[in-house]
A and B are shown apart, each in its own frame.
Chain A
Amino acid sequence: MTAHTALKESNVTPLLKPGALATAAPELSGLLRVLTCGSVDDGKSTLIGRLLWDATDLFDDQRATLERGRRVDGGNPDFSLLMDGLVAEREQGITIDIAWRYFDTATRRLVVIDSPGHEQYTRNMASGASHADVAIMLIDARHGIKTQTRRHAAILDLVGLKRVILAVNKMDLVDWSESRFRQIEHEFRTLMWRFGFREAVAIPVAAVSGDNVAAKSKHMPWYTGPSLLQHLEEIPSRGTEPVGAFRMPVQTVLRDTRADFRGLAGTISSGTIRVGDTVLDPVSRRTAKVQRIATMDRDYEEAIQGQAVAIQLDTDLDVSRGSVLAAPEAAPVVARTLEARFVWLSEVPFDKKGSYLVRTATDLVPVTNIEIKSLLDLDSLAVHPATACKVNDIAIANLALGRATAIDRFAEAQETGSFMLVDAISGATIAGGTVTAASPDIQQQDNVFLLTRAMLARGLCSDVANTPEGEAEFRRRSNEVALLLRSAGVAVEVESLPDYVI
């Protein structure tokens, strides 16, 4: 890492004065992505606007925009204007998509991901939450925990979020009542334990007046916890907690013929790697030692989750894009069958005859069969048997893959345990999925035609060289042919390399 000054984490959050950042360190010591969820009625836009207004480096013209939105009755500036975006939305007066906002406190970058509280919220919240480190769930103190809060928690848990904050808003309207807050807090704790969250805290706030938003409230002396901003500044920054076993999905191979360099380029998706460590290519089941961890700036002795590097091995494993370098003692499954949960994102419902692809971290694999087993009811958190699936549904399904690919269980490694379901024809992103179980076994199917390598090599791929690039091209052509046949209704599978057979 380049040298920089780490700012001391402070418990007391200074309220930033305009221009204060001019004297701050050139680099912020951390970054946190915050998802906001809740309905417009709960005052979400107001809460975020208030946070920006009080605690950060808003520009004068942004402040002026909010001032222009000040209501005629002389109320507060219209904070919601900060989070507003598309023209269509302004006309409808609702948020229809995810908006990203960036602001700096004295120590770190806060990225606010705003997801809508109205229609389509399941898919938008799921996609927004998948990018976040922490979620602020907003509720109205008068109404308490509602079904919606449970739905939100279920979605956040599904996409792997580990930290949640319950902002109990409009405390002014319940006379800053401690007993009311404690009651909600208790309900919240009871609700949360059933999910996989690492941390869940409740904070009493009043967004309009700014109580416990950036500064501690004077109206609630009984509350001794941090303000919302203080809490956000205390959460460990993105990238500071390497978790899990080493994984690096290979994006591309970088070469320097002059220096005899062949670097497997990728972003370390979990764990840590050191020079001299042994890594495994799960598909070929071959191992090699890390010789160099290289970047344009310098070589590293050690690299961790989140770093984009190029790894040179001591022996050529013949791996290319789509492989996942892994710690040999805790390797991913080389899977042909997945059990997964996915959020259906597309307006087009599931089609049993459709042609789908699974896009993992860096691999793209044809799907030979999807069997929807059940749908998750977000209100009751129960599952109901089902065979169909449409937009905003959360489905539990089995997927049979056209060839084996290295994949993890999502609970063990999020980045190599998640995937997108892609429509092979339109290219559209259909669903976002998390792997709950992966198996090397091939799901039984009747009358599947096998496209053998020999058959493909004789004609279609006769001009393909016997190199890693050639192999990639071979696979690409094979998959395209299989797709065409499948869209014509022929059940077909592509034979894998002999090494790939488990």
Chain B
Amino acid sequence: MTAHFSHLDLLESESIHIFREAAAQFRKPVLLYSIGKDSTVLLHLARKAFWPGKLPFPILHVNTTWKFKEMIAFRDKWVKEFGLELIEMTNHDAIAKGVNPYDYAPSIYTDIMKTVPLKAGLDKYGFDGAFGGARRDEEASRAKERVFSFRAEGHRWDPRRQRPEMWRLLNGRLGAGETARIFPLSNWTERDIWRYILREKLEVVPLYMAKERPTIERNGQILMYDDDRFPLKPGEKPVMRSVRFRTLGCWPLTAGVESTATTLEEVVAETLGARVSERSGRLIDHDQVGAMEKKKQEGYF
């Protein structure tokens, strides 16, 4: 007898295994939900892992208030549909002080608006394990990430102190002050995420589909003019372009691509034939050499 597994079947089973293992080993886990396509897949796999029960943990969303409007609407719809327990964290102090993605360098903005409230949320509720949608194929320093990634007190990630992982065994026993990040999508690629969304007929934020949108072209990248907080430079005027997004961060920091792919099938076809890796559209990663690794050491996901 030869059963036939596609590579997606294997990835799905592995992720479900990781979810179940972490939920059993950690005292109080939480799922970090960012609304994007990876979070969509992450949440779907979590539901499969614990079906027919409910998710045995809440979901945490760090809202910078600079998220696309369509993203928040999408999030709220899912929360309602699946009866999820949502915790939202925002750095209100920073917003009051006027921190924004235009006047601050991407790395500083990300630290203040994402990393700080993320750490605050984890500390406030005493979460000892946090599920994230990070993939090893995203970036060079991620390629060495473990499935269970340990953080010392203060959420610091030390690449030299990570635990070796062998076979399918996962060791989630925490030392004093330690917490863990758990990455069930470790072995997925961007293409797998899309293939799986298509196969499972998952709904994604409409921003991933091409549509005529008001845009600004700057430094060779197409940025979306989502609301009037976008400070225009002299001579700049929003132009309508058919664009979509491969990755969704904060809207002023996420560049779109010109595309006519308006259906999921077309988006998948376009992604499978893509010539440029997805994070090239994320401005924060290009900020400095080893940017992602540095952000991680400071506690970013």
- On whether the beta carbons of B13 and A267 are closer than 8 Å, the reply is yes
- On whether the beta carbons of B175 and A102 are closer than 8 Å, the reply is no
* CB closest chain-B residue, reference A99: B143
Kindly list chain B residues whose C-beta atoms are within 8 Å of the C-beta of A295. Answer: 48, 51
- B159 sits at the interface (CB 8 A): yes
Interface size class of B (residues with CB under 8 A): 35 or more
Encode B125-161 as 1/0 by CB contact (under 8 A) with A: 0000000000011001101100000000000000110
Encode A7-25 as 1/0 by CB contact (under 8 A) with B: 0000000000011111010
Given B3, B137, B175, B186, which contacts A304 in the complex, CB threshold below 8 Å? B3
- A254 sits at the interface (CB 8 A): yes
CA distance A97 to B162 in the complex (A): 10
Kindly list chain A residues whose C-beta atoms are within 8 Å of the C-beta of B171. Answer: 359, 420, 422, 427, 429
CA distance A424 to B174 in the complex (A): 9
Kindly list chain A residues whose C-beta atoms are within 8 Å of the C-beta of B6. Answer: 1-2, 4, 27-30
Interface residues of B in 1-20 (CB under 8 A from A): 1-14, 16-17, 20
Given A61-B276, A359-B171: A84 in contact with B7 (beta carbons within 8 A): no
- A39 sits at the interface (CB 8 A): no
Given B168, B268, B294, which contacts A361 in the complex, CB threshold below 8 Å? B168
State how many angstroms separate the Cβ of A277 from the closest Cβ of chain B: 14
- On whether the beta carbons of A420 and B166 are closer than 8 Å, the reply is yes
- On whether the beta carbons of B268 and A26 are closer than 8 Å, the reply is yes
Kindly list chain A residues whose C-beta atoms are within 8 Å of the C-beta of B178. Answer: 427
Given A307-B13, A357-B173: A108 in contact with B136 (beta carbons within 8 A): no
Encode A79-117 as 1/0 by CB contact (under 8 A) with B: 000001111101000000111111010001101000000
- On whether the beta carbons of A251 and B24 are closer than 8 Å, the reply is yes
- On whether the beta carbons of A308 and B17 are closer than 8 Å, the reply is yes
- On whether the beta carbons of A240 and B5 are closer than 8 Å, the reply is yes
- On whether the beta carbons of B143 and A27 are closer than 8 Å, the reply is no
- A345 sits at the interface (CB 8 A): yes
- A191 sits at the interface (CB 8 A): no
- A284 sits at the interface (CB 8 A): no
- A131 sits at the interface (CB 8 A): yes
* CB closest chain-B residue, reference A88: B159
- On whether the beta carbons of A62 and B277 are closer than 8 Å, the reply is yes
- On whether the beta carbons of A321 and B13 are closer than 8 Å, the reply is no
CA distance A61 to B293 in the complex (A): 19
Given A19-B273, A131-B167, A307-B13: A61 in contact with B280 (beta carbons within 8 A): yes
Kindly list chain B residues whose C-beta atoms are within 8 Å of the C-beta of A263. Answer: 52
Given A85-B143, A87-B290, A296-B47: A27 in contact with B7 (beta carbons within 8 A): yes
Kindly list chain A residues whose C-beta atoms are within 8 Å of the C-beta of B276. Answer: 59-61
* CB closest chain-A residue, reference B53: A254
CA distance A124 to B273 in the complex (A): 35
- A77 sits at the interface (CB 8 A): no
- A350 sits at the interface (CB 8 A): no
* CB closest chain-B residue, reference A63: B275
- A415 sits at the interface (CB 8 A): yes
Most buried by A among B1, B48, B187: B187
Kindly list chain A residues whose C-beta atoms are within 8 Å of the C-beta of B137. Answer: 101-102
- On whether the beta carbons of A26 and B52 are closer than 8 Å, the reply is no
CA distance A361 to B24 in the complex (A): 12
- On whether the beta carbons of A19 and B275 are closer than 8 Å, the reply is yes
Kindly list chain A residues whose C-beta atoms are within 8 Å of the C-beta of B7. Answer: 27-31, 108-109, 237
Given A30-B7, A87-B293: A98 in contact with B144 (beta carbons within 8 A): yes
Kindly list chain A residues whose C-beta atoms are within 8 Å of the C-beta of B16. Answer: 267, 308
* CB closest chain-A residue, reference B173: A427
- On whether the beta carbons of B169 and A419 are closer than 8 Å, the reply is yes
- On whether the beta carbons of B272 and A59 are closer than 8 Å, the reply is no
- On whether the beta carbons of A308 and B20 are closer than 8 Å, the reply is yes
Kindly list chain B residues whose C-beta atoms are within 8 Å of the C-beta of A109. Answer: 7, 189
* CB closest chain-A residue, reference B148: A429
What are 11 A-B pairs at a CB distance below 8 A? A31-B7, A104-B191, A267-B16, A269-B168, A308-B16, A345-B164, A359-B169, A359-B171, A415-B167, A418-B166, A425-B175
List A residues at the B interface (Cβ < 8 Å): 1-2, 4, 6, 18-22, 24, 26-31, 59-62, 84-88, 90, 97-102, 104, 108-109, 111, 123-124, 126-127, 130-131, 159, 237-242, 251-252, 254-256, 259, 261, 263, 265-267, 269, 272, 295-297, 302, 304, 306-308, 310, 321, 345, 357, 359-362, 364, 414-415, 418-420, 422, 424-429, 432
Sorted nearest first, the 7 A-B pairs with minimum C-beta distance are A22-B273, A427-B173, A256-B52, A296-B51, A27-B6, A308-B16, A432-B166
Q: 7 new A-B pairs (CB below 8 Å) besides A27-B8, A240-B3, A359-B169?
A: A2-B6, A18-B275, A85-B141, A86-B290, A306-B13, A414-B167, A427-B174
